[in-house]
Amino acid sequence: MTDKGKVEIEIDVSKHPIHVNHPTCSKGHLLICESVKIHDYPSIKVKATYKNNAGFLYIDPIYGSFYNIIDGMHVPDGETVELFCPECDENLKAVNDTCQICLSPMFLFHLPNNGIVEGCLKKGCMFHKLKIVDAEEQVARLFEDRMLL
Ligand SMILES: [Zn+2]
Ligand SMILES: [Zn+2]
């Protein structure tokens, strides 16, 4: 028996710049900031905390690129942050996953059609991955448009 909705694949997209343009928290709040752009695309804006400090993190929306901007606090390389939805304060930590390189917790953003983007919460660690569920059509589209809707 095959359950088409549960097929998961992981793809290596490092050679194909893909623009993540519809990441949300689990409640569907769009985490996009039109006024702060990275590579000319609206950045992914989330609340960030490090120890007792809080600020905002503007994440590079190009998958595989890491020109992230931290605003309002300083986070040294090698330290991990926590990320929250600016709208509902949901902790965006991935519940069932840790970084395969440094074992730190990861953040998780939802994409339309049950896809997810995960990334390491340690500053300076660039591990992240993309999972698309039930994906044939989406992958075809991904490589056509270089874009995740
Ligand atoms: Zn939210
Ligand atoms: Zn890591």
Q: State the average pLDDT over residues 48-66.
A: 92
Tens of pLDDT, residues 73-131: 999 999 999 999 999 999 999 998 899 999 999 999 998 878 888 999 999 998 877 77
User: Cα separation of 115 and 111, whole Å?
Assistant: 5
Domain with 43 in it: 4-148
**CA of 91, nearest ligand number:** 1
Q: How confident is the model at residue 149 (pLDDT cuts 50, 70, 90)?
A: very low
Q: How far is the CA of 1 from the centre of ligand 1 (A)?
A: 36
Q: How far is the CA of 127 from the centre of ligand 2 (A)?
A: 5
Residue 3 alpha carbon to ligand 2 centre in Å: 32
Q: Mean pLDDT of all residues in the chain?
A: 83
pLDDT tens, residue by residue, 4-32: 555 565 655 555 567 888 999 999 999 99
Non-local CB neighbours of 103 within 8 Å, separated by 6+ positions:
none
Q: Do 105 and 118 meet the contact criterion of CB atoms below 8 Å apart?
A: no
Nearest to 113 by CA among 7, 3, 38, 41: 7
Instruction: Provide the whole-model pTM.
Output: 0.78
Domain count, the chain: 1
